[in-house]
Amino acid sequence: MENSASAVNTHAATAMARTEIEIIGARQNNLKNISVNIPRDKLTVITGVSGSGKSSLAFDIVYGEAQRRFLESISNFAKSRINQVKKAKVDFVRGLSPVIAIEQKKGNSNPRSTVGTVTDINDYIRLLFATAGVGKCPICSHPLKPVSAAQIAEHASSSLEPGTVIELRAPIFKIYGEEWGYLLDKMRGKGYKYVKIDGESVNLSDKVELDENKDYNIEVIIDTFTISPNIYMQIAKSIEAATVSIDDDISIKVEVTKGDVPENFYKDFECCPEHHFILCELQAFYFSFNIGSNACHTCQGIGRSHVVEPRFLIVAPEKSIMKGGLKSMIFNTASKDSHRGSIMYSLAKHFGFSLDTPINELSKDALDVIFYGSKGEVIEWLQPPFAKKRSWIVGRKWAYGGIVHDIESWYRNFVRKSVAEQSFEPGFVQETMIEKTCPECNGARLKKQRLAVTVGGKNIDELARMQLPDLVEFLNGLTFDVNVADVAKSIINELNARLILLIDIGLHYLSLARRSDTISGGEMQRIKMSTQISSELMGMLYIMDEPSIGLHARDSIRVIQTMKKLRDLGNTVIVVEHDVETMKNSDYMIEIGPGPGVHGGNIIACGTYKDIMNCKESVTGQYLSGEKFIPTPSKRRPGNDKYISIYGAKENNLKNIDVEIPLGTFVCITGVSGSGKSTLINEVLFKELEIMKKGARIVAGAHDHILGVENVTNVINIDQSPIGRGSKSNPATYIGIYDKIRDIYAETEEAVKRGYRALDFSLTHSGGVRCEHCTGDGILVTNLQFMADIETVCPVCKGERFCQEGLEVKYHGKSIADVLNMTTEEALDFFEDVRYLKHKLGIMNDLGLGYITLGQSSTTLSGGEAQRVKLAYELAKIKRGVHNVYILDEPTTGLHLSDIQKLLQCLYRLVDNGHTVIVIEHNLDVIKCADYIIDMGPEGGNGGGYVVASGTPEDIVRCKQSYTGKYLREYIE
């Protein structure tokens, strides 16, 4: 018994004294049964070449095991609602803590997600408006302070004499793009019987005709009361019910219609003295655009909506309207008896243009009338001579709203009939409409009645659009009434704490209204980091994936300081990183390698930055010590004397700038985060080239015009999006070599004998030689309610993905399954005789993708790997006499210095073949190798959007205003 107690005490003492995370026998993915210790309460960097096993160690082993053990401790009820984690292939992991992984993932793709919702700061902003918000009279804008239903009922019942009659009314407003009749029908549907139109009482059961081109002051009568001793509760309940029923407004009008009004009745009531409107008590949820009753009618709280693009309504600009120049859904020349034929003929006669004139020769005014209507001008509808039957509209007179108005009305009708906007996709939306900023709320997402409530003179959308430092300054300058000051100040303190953390981590250029799907992976990672610091937890284990991505050299120190702050709170921070500055500031480093894939998975070196730098076996150390380096080009390419010139770019924060991009060169777009790099290249240049070269159904960022497009054959954006979504998509299918491999196998003697075609060797073709039990996946997935999904090898094909008959077809002794399991490097040797395959596989190998297997599911590739596969695809199809523009946004993501050197060689190959490569980049080793640099800035956000400097790297270094030049100097000199 004593021995047992002694053993327990010894074990407890060991656990208490544990200063390291001990990993024994890690075999996950390509890890070679490694054992390593990671110091606790330190900042540790795990580095190595791409594909060496860094993420396998950090995320699959350390994070996976810590997360799995935590999930095992919770109840089965909770487990059934959380995705379970598979057990990692490792013998032991000791010394783990509760873990949080902050991975390199782009923002939420949900269009309703913003910086404010992701950080939960919006909750505090809404609370501030509910606490200290001030409304305004909908007629004269007199300021109104919120009053509760109980206060209104108490004041009315106690101030007015019995027998006095009062009416409760609420203002209603015309809905954007809808007719007055739709609004009145909506009120009828809610059960209201009477409205006041310009002061006149109207019964909604009667037919009401209103001029669509005229504005009316309409108020719905909610209820009528006769003051009596027991009326208090009835008034209070009626007001509360009205604020729910009439969700368009949060203001009520109290009007005495019979009886005497005390002199100070309205004055003492916090209402508009002239129009008697009262602002109802505010609730925080009133300002949430994710609640239908608050959201803008048109965009449903998304901030963007589908609007008609007139250029999509013209199918043949060289033809006239009568010859079929417009889409048939607008004017079908085969059915000239339709009322649309009468409209077109009447418009032509009234405004003096011909239906037989080619559309591209019609005046701008004529097209404006056809698309956008007569702007209120009344037109008499005529019988066209080409019609055989008389249309029902002939002889009538009214103003024409235009084709655009008609289609948008159809669209809104579909939206109203659908449970959600996403639940339908009518053909005319795909064919004629594009998504733009909502024309009703201008991107504010909320109804105008909600935006009428302000704090410090600004509504909630104006605060959300401020850059974070401006927002902090505004909040700190607010003053409040005595009765709400204490509550409001405590909310301001919470807001300040969260906003300052975001600013300190280098996200000062963001605004709370910024959509999450426009945020880079690095920015989202830093947002999560700021959230963790605000929690001030200690004893945690944080694992991060390249937090330096997307950061200019000037700002990277901010992220490093944030990681140190987490460490100093008493946490363990493990970072997968290639950034030299982060390595210099680490407490401990682990390098995995020496090569990628099958050539990696071993511990090459452990120790401090100096230890790694002095380790001869370390590839990273060789670059850190200067033994290896990326050379600066001896001369810059002059280009082909042709340019693409962007004039008047003013999208987002761009300040109406003009930019010239020399063609036939390697161009780098640089500048601090938020300076406008991606806006200029991705939103303005790429989208406009897509429209002009491919007729893409998109809208380019705001600019005046772009010249020199005729000098470009095509534009290709090589981004980091997945190369495929299905499990059967793989590098071989994307690059295009699998078709050739299937042809080779179909031509073998055994395949010909059995009658197999090339199609039969496809993983997506049923009835061929794939295994039908697992449909070519090689595994079967079993969903378990309380445990992680179990993947088992298919018992029929044993994971080979093909049936036995298909595997019997061999080429040089290898089955097609063997080929798909080959790495690119192995396949290059195997297909040495096949010139086509050797060429494409050689390019993949040159890009550092030699470790990827040909049949590896595309869903398992990282963003950087997917980007390099796309680059390999483009390099493999270079044609003479073609001039393409290739755009890459941060291609160094996930790349070691040795991999960056390979990437640069491939980019050089594109440029040397006459193409233009435009790279948005922060990595100074890439920037120094550019032929031409366009440096944006000088700051991020509102302080950016200018071209600070342009020219060769040497020119940028000489520019004293350029932050890029300041840090680039030591790389060139």
- State residue 336's pLDDT score: 67
Are 256 and 265 in contact by the 8 Å Cβ rule? The answer is yes
Higher-pLDDT residue of 834 and 331 is: 834
Length of the chain: 973
No. of helices (H) and no. of strands (E), the chain: 36, 35
The arrangement of strands across the sheet holding 20-26 comes to 34-39, 20-26, 92-94
- As a whole number of angstroms, the distance between CA 746 and CA 757 comes to 5
At 5, the pLDDT band (50, 70, 90 cuts) reads: very low
- As a whole number of angstroms, the distance between CA 753 and CA 750 comes to 5
What six digits make up the tokens of 844? 């993949």
- As a whole number of angstroms, the distance between CA 248 and CA 260 comes to 31
Measured in whole angstroms, how far is the alpha carbon of residue 44 from the centre of its chain? 31
- As a whole number of angstroms, the distance between CA 802 and CA 741 comes to 15
- Cβ contacts of residue 213 below 8 Å, gap of 6+? 376, 399
Q: What are phi and psi of 484, to 5 degrees?
A: -120, 0
- Determine whether 6 is exposed, middle or buried from the number of CB atoms within 10 Å of its CB (0-12, 13-18, 19+): exposed
3-state secondary structure of 271: coil
What six digits make up the tokens of 468? 């974070």
Is the peptide bond between 594 and the residue preceding it cis, with omega within 30 degrees of 0?
Answer: yes
Residue 7 in this model has a pLDDT that exceeds 60: no
Higher-pLDDT residue of 766 and 470 is: 470
What integer is the mean pLDDT of 97-105?
83
Helix axes 149-159, 232-245, angle to 10 degrees: 140
Residue matched to tokens 């409409």: 433
Query: Which of 231-245, 487-501, 509-523 holds the top average pLDDT?
Result: 487-501
Determine which of 10-14, 482-486, 769-773 has the lowest per-residue pLDDT on average. 10-14
3-state secondary structure of 833: coil
Are 165 and 226 in contact by the 8 Å Cβ rule? The answer is yes
Q: Residue 252 pairs with which residues in a beta bridge?
A: 278
Q: State in Å, rounded, how far the first CA of the chain is from the last one.
A: 72
What integer is the mean pLDDT of 513-519?
87
Kindly give the residue spans of alpha helices, DSSP state H, lying in 481-618. 482-504, 521-535, 556-568, 580-584, 609-613
Strands 20-26 and 34-39: antiparallel
Strands 714-717 and 884-889: parallel
- State residue 878's pLDDT score: 76
Nearest CA-CA partner of 65 in 46, 49, 87: 87
Q: Percentage of the chain with pLDDT > 70?
A: 94
- State residue 270's pLDDT score: 77
Are 962 and 949 in contact by the 8 Å Cβ rule? The answer is yes
At 477, the pLDDT band (50, 70, 90 cuts) reads: very high
Nearest CA-CA partner of 341 in 351, 353, 328, 352: 328
- Phi-psi map region of 744: left, alpha, beta (phi>0 left; psi -120 to 50 alpha): alpha
- State residue 466's pLDDT score: 94
Annotate 173-204 with DSSP letters as a single string: -PPTT--HHHHHHHHHHTT--EEEETTEEEET
Residue matched to tokens 């001990």: 22
pTM for the model stands at 0.84
**Other beta carbons within 10 Å of 79:** 18
At 828, the pLDDT band (50, 70, 90 cuts) reads: very high
Q: Residue 829 pairs with which residues in a beta bridge?
A: none
- As a whole number of angstroms, the distance between CA 601 and CA 54 comes to 8
Residue 242 in this model has a pLDDT that exceeds 50: yes
- As a whole number of angstroms, the distance between CA 753 and CA 304 comes to 59
Nearest CA-CA partner of 288 in 305, 306, 300, 304: 300
At 247, the pLDDT band (50, 70, 90 cuts) reads: low
For the chain, what is the largest distance between any 2 Cα atoms, rounded to a whole number of angstroms? 112
Residue 142 is which amino acid? H
- State residue 334's pLDDT score: 72
- As a whole number of angstroms, the distance between CA 420 and CA 668 comes to 43
Nearest CA-CA partner of 283 in 453, 156, 469, 71: 453
- Cβ contacts of residue 607 below 8 Å, gap of 6+? 588, 589, 615
- State residue 790's pLDDT score: 73
Are 882 and 916 in contact by the 8 Å Cβ rule? The answer is no
Determine which of 147-151, 161-165, 520-524 has the lowest per-residue pLDDT on average. 520-524
The arrangement of strands across the sheet holding 705-707 comes to 657-662, 643-649, 705-707
Are 412 and 398 in contact by the 8 Å Cβ rule? The answer is no
Q: Residue 197 pairs with which residues in a beta bridge?
A: 200, 218
Q: What is the mean pLDDT of the chain?
A: 87
What six digits make up the tokens of 516? 């999450």
Nearest CA-CA partner of 440 in 175, 660, 678: 175
Residue 618 in this model has a pLDDT that exceeds 50: yes
Q: Residue 201 pairs with which residues in a beta bridge?
A: 196
- As a whole number of angstroms, the distance between CA 41 and CA 32 comes to 27
- As a whole number of angstroms, the distance between CA 112 and CA 119 comes to 14
- State residue 378's pLDDT score: 85
What six digits make up the tokens of 639? 């280009």
What six digits make up the tokens of 345? 């003929």
**Other beta carbons within 10 Å of 664:** 22
Residue matched to tokens 């063609």: 663
- State residue 430's pLDDT score: 67
Is the peptide bond between 938 and the residue preceding it cis, with omega within 30 degrees of 0?
Answer: yes
Per-residue pLDDT tens for 283-306? 899 999 998 888 988 888 999 888
Query: Which of 407-411, 698-702, 818-822, 844-848 holds the top average pLDDT?
Result: 818-822
What integer is the mean pLDDT of 141-164?
86
Are 160 and 256 in contact by the 8 Å Cβ rule? The answer is yes
What integer is the mean pLDDT of 153-159?
84
Helix axes 121-132, 482-504, angle to 10 degrees: 160
Per-residue pLDDT tens for 719-729? 887 887 777 88
- As a whole number of angstroms, the distance between CA 511 and CA 941 comes to 9
Strands 790-793 and 194-197: unpaired
Per-residue pLDDT tens for 334-378? 776 677 888 888 899 999 999 899 999 999 999 999 999 888 788
What six digits make up the tokens of 945? 């959007």
- Determine whether 92 is exposed, middle or buried from the number of CB atoms within 10 Å of its CB (0-12, 13-18, 19+): exposed
Q: Residue 593 pairs with which residues in a beta bridge?
A: 602
